[in-house]
Every structure is written in C-alpha cells, then in structure tokens.
C-alpha cells in the first residue's frame, strides 16, 4: 500500500517536471522563421543578426574535414578562446537554406559545441559567435562529393 502511494507520488512529480520543460520549449521564442527560410547567406545573417557588425576572428576553431564524400553527415566541432560566449551559429553558404543550427550557451557552459550537419555542395562552413555582445566570424571551405540535402 505504502509502495503504491510512493509510486503515485513519484509518477505525478515526474509528470510535472516533464510538462515544465516542454512548456518552456514551446514558450522559448526565437526560432527565427525568416532566418531559417532565407535562401542565401547574406539574407540569413541580415535576418538573424539585424544591424549588427560581424568581425572576422582567428580565435575560432572550426573542426571539420577539408573533403567529405557524403554531405549527409558532416561532423563539425566549434571551439574558441573568446570569453563570455553565449551563442554559436553554424552556416553552410551554398546550402538551399544556409542557416543550419544555432546553439545558446547559458549558465556555466564551455565555449564548445559538436554536432553533425548536411551540406549540399562545396561550401564555406561559417561560424558566428556572440561573445561579450559582439559578433565574431570564421569560415572554412570544404569539398563535398555527394549532395547531403536531397
């Protein structure tokens, strides 16, 4: 009997937690339709970072192979020695929609992210980092043999 009661409490508290996280996802505005739908790189950055200057930086390391057979799975690792990084955004300038992924680094995050993306053709992989409320950019050209977006 006690065990059943305990399980009931456990289940209800889990349900509350789950709802809490999902509610915050739905209310977490900022999935920028205009930027994600943009069909060229300049339109994407104008929609995503309106009226902001972006400076090239040699403090951003983009870990990606120079040449990739299959563009459907391109591992990308971003690291930087810039301080107070709260946003890392990845683009491929020749993709049908160049904006690929944005990562928001909140409390206590290290300036690092690693993921896998699709790239349609030889492109610049462009990373824009927001650090101390300024935007920094680096790029690396990669060759892709097989379109990963089709």
Partner 1 sequence: MASTIRLKTKIRNNITTVRAIIRHPMETGFRISDETGKLVPEHYIKKVLVKHNNNIIFSCDWSRAVSKNPYLSFMFENSKVGDKIEIAWFDTEGKNETLETLIQ
Tell me which residues touch partner 1 (CB under 8 A). 14, 17-18, 20-22, 24-26, 28, 30-32, 36, 72-75, 92, 95-97, 99-110, 112-119, 148-150
> Among 62, 68, 73, which residue's Cα sits nearest to residue 118?
73
Distance CA 69, CA 146 (A): 6
Q: What minimum distance in Å lies between the beta carbon of 80 and partner 1?
A: 13
Distance CA 106, CA 74 (A): 26
Q: What minimum distance in Å lies between the beta carbon of 104 and partner 1?
A: 5
Q: What minimum distance in Å lies between the beta carbon of 51 and partner 1?
A: 20
Considering beta carbons, is residue 1 or 17 the nearer one to partner 1?
17
Contact 140, 111 (CB under 8 A): no
Considering beta carbons, is residue 86 or 134 the nearer one to partner 1?
86
Tokens standing for residue 99: 């904006």
Considering beta carbons, is residue 2 or 16 the nearer one to partner 1?
16
Tokens standing for residue 60: 């951003």
Residue 8 per-residue DSSP state: H
């Amino acid at each position: 009997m006690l065990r059943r009661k305990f399980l009931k409490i456990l289940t209800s508290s889990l349900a509350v937690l789950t709802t809490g996280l999902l509610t915050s996802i739905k209310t977490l505005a900022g999935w920028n339709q205009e930027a994600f739908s943009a069909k060229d790189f300049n339109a994407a950055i104008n929609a995503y970072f309106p009226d902001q200057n972006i400076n090239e930086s040699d403090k951003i390391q983009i870990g990606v192979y120079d040449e990739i057979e299959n563009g459907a799975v391109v591992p990308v690792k971003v690291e930087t020695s810039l301080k107070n990084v709260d946003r890392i955004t990845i683009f491929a300038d020749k993709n049908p929609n160049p904006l690929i992924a944005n990562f928001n680094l909140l409390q206590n995050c290290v300036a690092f992210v690693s993921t896998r993306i699709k790239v349609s053709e030889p492109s610049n992989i462009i990373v824009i980092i927001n650090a101390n409320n300024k935007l920094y950019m680096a790029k690396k050209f990669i060759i892709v043999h097989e379109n990963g977006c089709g």
